[in-house]
Structure 1
Amino acid sequence: MHALSLPTWWIHIASVLEWVAAIAAVQRFGLQRGEPGWRWLSLAMLPALVSAMAACTWHLFDNPPELKGLVVFQAASTLVGNVTLAIAAWNLLRLQRLSLRAPR
């Protein structure tokens, strides 16, 4: 726990909690609009949350070399998160364009 200052810990924890709140907000927004694409976006946000939690875990144990694999896992989950978010955003755009073309 000594690797990070108390204000830095506060930012890390607040960021994780904000991300959880954002996932819930995106999910709720999609439900209110009746658009399932938003649900996929909220699910696509989960790997980034896992990444953040892995980073916090690594810092919690003072960044030991024995947990270097956790850093690799964190990097991989960041990559997966970025890819899933890009796909989910593209899917939202695609669904929006389809709904604009649909006859009313």
Structure 2
Amino acid sequence: MASLRLVAALAPSPPPPRREPQKPPPSAAHLARGVSLAAAAATMAMAAASPPALAALAEPANALSLPTWAVHVSSVAEWVTAMALVWQYGERTGLKGWKGLSWGMVPLLGGAMCACTWHFFYNSESLEVLVALQGALTVTGNITMCIAAFRIFKASQEGTNSKSP
């Protein structure tokens, strides 16, 4: 048995498998023809589409762009996150004024939702009431946040006065 292993170890190994030569990559002329063929096909497909089908896909001139929507949505998400963080700070520190600030931020969130809803429906004239509601919620939110900030300031002043000798 050991002699068979020795013979197998000393035996020459078979030659590596022969590789087929690889085809060279297509030339620039082939690529250019493929690109022009694809462009022609896309142009023909667009020309074949009926005008009503294309009109159904078109958005009004006052539609928001994708980057503008990204700013709107991320701003609302950022505001909700700020509200949650302010609330958590109030919970951890035991200072109720910070929870009040979080509540004071709610009308401004409502105003942001009014703006997003109005834009979602392409600034429809039938929803003009949302513009007025957004303005009212913004004023209300600014007042409630001002009151909450003043309460936090007063609470911090009372805390400093009680610690002084």
Normalised TM-score (structure 1) = 0.96
Partner of 1:11: 71
Name the SS for the 1:102 alignment partner. helix
Alignment of 1:95 onto 2:148: no
Kindly state the Cα deviation for residue 102 of structure 1 after the two structures are TM-superposed.
1.2
Q: Which has the higher contact order (CA 8 A, sep 6+)?
A: 1
Q: Which runs of 5+ in 2 are unaligned?
A: 1-58
**Corresponding pairs, count:** 104
**1:72-91 correspondence runs (5 A):** 72-91=132-151
Report the counterpart of residue 39 of structure 1 in structure 2.
Answer: 99
Q: CA deviation at 1:103?
A: 4.4
Q: Secondary structure at the match of 1:32?
A: helix
CA distance in 1 between counterparts of 2:87 and 2:133 reads 26
1:64 aligned to which of 124, 134, 137: 124
Q: CA deviation at 1:12?
A: 0.2
Larger Rg: 2
How far did 1:8 drift? 0.3
Which 4+ runs in 1 deviate beyond 3 A? none
Which whole-Å CA distance do the structure 2 matches of 1:56 and 1:28 have between them? 27
Percent identity between the aligned chains? 44
Structure 1: which amino acid aligns with 2:121?
Answer: F
- 1:48-83 per-residue CA deviation (whole Å, 9 max, x = no partner) reads 000000000000000011111110000000000000
